[in-house]
Structure 1
Amino acid sequence: MIYRFRVILDNETEDDVFRDLEIKETDTMEDLHNIITQSFGFDGTEIASFYLSDDQWNQGEEISLFDMSDGMNEVRLMNETNLSDTVHEAQTKLIYVYDFLSMWTFYVELAEIAEEDEGVDYPNLIFVQGQVPDDAPERIFEAERDEFDCEFDDAYDIDDYDNLDFNENWN
């Protein structure tokens, strides 16, 4: 069987940038990583990870290109993880992050599972839309004030140690 994916660059530009590609279900997550980097014009040498995602694109379990855990945690690796064990009809969405310094972020969605076409080499890039910008889209990480369960009073001046209302010799 063949998996057909749409891979969309998360960008803030007016133009949509995405690639449609096909890959065998028996290939690994590293094979998917390779076709994504090649189809978007990256050299593929930077650190990258896939994350399982739900329908709202919330980031879940990581599948990493390299094990950088120093044996502290068990890590799923792309080259050891079959595509069919990760993506299927019940789990169709992944988030892909390439180059953790630039944070190129992509939404990867399984669009179709189809029969293999005779005479086609897989993986296969089948459609290209848009130009990749020179730089990764700027990521803005802001939390809403209401997202935290703590109270914060703007009247406090953290540089005014005399009026912070705590005992200076507390320990």
Structure 2
Amino acid sequence: MIYKFLVGSEESENFKLEIKIDSEDTFMRLRNTILDASGYSKEQMDSFYICDDDWHKEKEVTVMDMGSDSDEDVWIMDDTPLDELLDEEGQKLKFVFDYMTERYFYMVLKETIPGKSLHDPLCTRKEGKAPKETTDYEEPAKPVAKIPDATIEDLGEEFYGDESFNEDELGDLDEYDGGDDGLNA
């Protein structure tokens, strides 16, 4: 079966790729096809994330095993065929190509073509210009105002808080479960 992916970027709205690849091919071959079509290096750390319908990350497929100690499954691009994790049209993915700033391409499995196969993946359509591969961190440093040195005596008693502090006001921190802190998005 052939998978047809549409690839886009929020940073460069006119940039679009269409990739056709055999469903039994690996995520690594899909990665390399996207990087080649975008003009990006293959030396960076990157990952695919299988997403739900609202683009929330569910499963990660990485370039290499990062030594995770968790009980979660670990999928490595070279070892994972696409059809192991993808099986229906409309599935959404993110391809994080800049790990440091979480920049990514969004992808949709637009079509499955049964009864056909491809030996090598193909970029069958490319529009626009890909966003810069990495963010330039060499911004001019802003001058920092000198803060005068202070001693504990200079800070006074108010630095340590109000004398009427009541530890019971914090509640039971042992019951804190983390809640939805947005880190799983």
TM-score, normalized by the shorter chain, greater than 0.5: yes
Superposition CA RMSD, Å:
2.7
Structure 2 residue aligned with 1:72: 69
Q: How does 1:12-91 map to 2 (within 5 A)?
A: 13=12, 15-69=13-67, 72-73=69-70, 74-89=73-88
Cα deviation for residue 91 of structure 1 reads 6.7
Structure 1 residue aligned with 2:110: 111
Cα deviation for residue 165 of structure 1 reads 4.9
C-alpha separation between the residues in 1 aligned to 2:54 and 2:163? 41
Count residues in correspondence. Answer: 143
CA offset digits 1:3-58 (Å, max 9, x no partner): 100011231x5x42110010011101111111111111101111111111011111
Report if the CA contact (8 A) 1:104-1:137 is conserved: no
Give me the TM-score of the superposition, normalised by structure 1.
0.72
Structure 2 residue aligned with 1:146: none
Report if the CA contact (8 A) 1:87-1:93 is conserved: no
C-alpha separation between the residues in 1 aligned to 2:163 and 2:80? 53
CA offset digits 1:89-109 (Å, max 9, x no partner): 167111110131243301111
Structure 1 residue aligned with 2:2: 2
Structure 2 residue aligned with 1:150: none
Bigger radius of gyration: 2
C-alpha separation between the residues in 2 aligned to 1:135 and 1:101? 11
Which protein has the bigger helix share?
Answer: 2
Identity in percent: 29
Partner SS for 2:161? helix
What amino acid sits opposite 2:8 in the alignment? I
Structure 2 residue aligned with 1:96: 95
